[in-house]
Structures are given as C-alpha cells and as structure tokens.
Amino acid sequence: MFKEFYLKELIPALKKPMVWIFFGLFALLAGAAVASDSVQIGGAIGNINKNAPDIITTFVLVLCIFGLLIAVAFFNNAALRDHNNGFNEIIFSLPIKKSAYFWGRFLGALTLSTIPFFGIFFGVWVGATIAPIFDWVDAERFGDFYLSTIVNNYFLFILPNMFIGGSIIFFLAHKWKNTTVSFVGALVIVILYIVSGSLLTDIENETIGALLDVFGVRTYSIYTKYWTPAEKNMLGPVFEGIILQNRLIWIGFGLLVSA
C-alpha cells in the first residue's frame, strides 16, 4: 500500500507545471548569479571561483529558506487533499494501513519538494558553460565541478531541510485541517532562523546559534569561517563537526514530530 500512496502523490504532480516552475526559477537564479556580477545570492562572491563548491552551497542554503514555500505547497496538498475533497471518510473506511497512508503521502511530498533544488546545480552548470562563450565572465573565474558537492548538499541540507519543514507543516495540517495554521508553523521556523542569527553576534554563543539554525545557513558559515579562498574553491560541506551535530538535532526533531 505504501508504494501506491507514494506513487499517487508523486507521479500526478510531476505531470503538472508547479514542480518544473520552481525548478526553472531556481535554475534561472543560480545561472544568473554565476553568469553575471549583477545578480547575487547570499552576498558578494569575492575572489573565489563563481562555481566553487562553497558558492554552490551558499546558493543551496539561501534558497532553502525560500524553499519553505515549496514545502508548504506540497505538504499541505498531501495532508489536506482528501479532507478538502470530502474523500477522507471513504478512504479511511477501507482496510489500509495508517503507516502506509501517512508515509506514502509524506515521502511523496518530500520527494517533490526536493526536486526543484536540482535546478540550482543545473543553473550553475549552464551559467558556467555559457558565460565564457559570450564573454560575460572570464573563463579563469570558473573551476571544476565536483559530484560530491551535489551529493553532500542534497543529503546535508536539501533533503533534511525539506524533511524538517515538511514534518512540521504536515503535522499541523493534519492536526488542525487548516492551511493557515501550517503557514504559521513555517513562520516559526523562520523565527528560529532569525533568533539563531542574533546569537552569532556574540562569539561565546556562536556555537549555540549555529546549532539552533534550522536551515544550517549559519552553521555552515561557522564551519567555513577560517577557510582560505583555495579551500573554498575545492572543498564543500561534509558529514562532520558542527554541521553533523546540527543536522542530527533537527532531523531528530523532525522524526519526533512525525512520530
């Protein structure tokens, strides 16, 4: 039953434009930031490569904040569609497993919410390819692409952030059957992000602030605080140190909410 619910959540949505609109928007933003000095995501790049792993990670982290809108759209739809259509009484009278229904819908929405973020990597690749051709940016400003940058960003930030936000939104939507309430949940996540930023102004509290950051934006900034430009050109986030601690804390919180 899990497979049926998962595919029913996933396949119809992939045939609709919303997923691909978000994908194209993220690709456009990332591509423009790489191919032009006029567009910035997360601040000025400085003297490191425009497609460096550090820059790609910054793009991912900043757009994860806006990705909450994606999470709200997909998880609200997954949680409330049967209720809004009046089909919930029929489906719950059938001999289905609660776990199959819940996890099928939830993981389907989770998969959908992560797909647009691949537009970032696609946009960076396109921007780095065409910018030197049209002489928008010097070819020396671009370096190698690393598969580990895509893999680590997906499993450290994209998937966990959509899971954490989605678990809260999905729970609130199921509990109160109200879209507005789940939007409030998304707002609380943003407030936690702002609070964690205020803690970073004091060096004694920067570790606490980094751990409280739901998205991991400031966690990554602390992790790379003393990196040289050469290191930022070659290295990306890995499963260690304060990043791993932050991810374990918030993934555990997401699992608790889901449970």
pLDDT digits (tens, 9 = 90+) for 48-95: 999 999 999 999 999 998 888 888 889 998 888 877 666 665 666 667
Check residue 199 and give its pLDDT: 64
Check residue 61 and give its pLDDT: 95
Q: What angle do CA 88, 5, 161 make, to 5 degrees?
A: 100
Check residue 174 and give its pLDDT: 83
Domain locations along the chain = 2-258
Is residue 142 a contact partner of residue 50, using CB atoms and an 8 Å limit? yes
Q: In 3D, which of 35, 244, 11, 237 has the Cα closest to residue 115?
A: 11
Residue numbers in the chain where pLDDT is lower than 70:
84-94, 196, 199-204
Check residue 93 and give its pLDDT: 64
Q: What is the C-alpha separation between 168 and 81, in angstroms, rounded?
A: 17
Q: Which residue has the tokens 């009046």?
A: 86
